[in-house]
Amino acid sequence: MKRCKIRIEHSTHPPYRLKLLPATQVSHVLAYMSLNEDYVLSPTDEPTKIFNPEERLFDLISTNDELVANLSPEAEAKYAKLFMK
């Protein structure tokens, strides 16, 4: 079992403190946090590194890593177009 802390970018919600089992995928964590497919997970210290939703998060991180959930680059572009018209 590994532990991690995940905050949602631009949110006032307190960070999620999770315990991960070996089979836990990135998509499972996003669903648990009630975030849709517009969001991605990244390490806090390397925000340009985006984890694939099908990957096992357990294998990608170390215990006590800190992650951030934010909009994917595609979602940011989509929302920018909506507001820039």
List the domains of the chain with CATH numbers: 2-84 (3.10.20.90)
CA–CA separation, 39 and 53 (whole Å): 10
Which tokens go with 5?
A: 């802390």
pLDDT in 10s for each residue of the chain, 85 residues: 999 999 999 899 999 999 999 999 999 999 999 999 999 999 999 989 999 999 999 999 999 999 999 999 888 888 777 777 5
pTM: 0.86
Give the Cβ contact number of residue 72 at 10 Å: 14
Closest Cα to residue 5, out of 45, 55, 50? 45
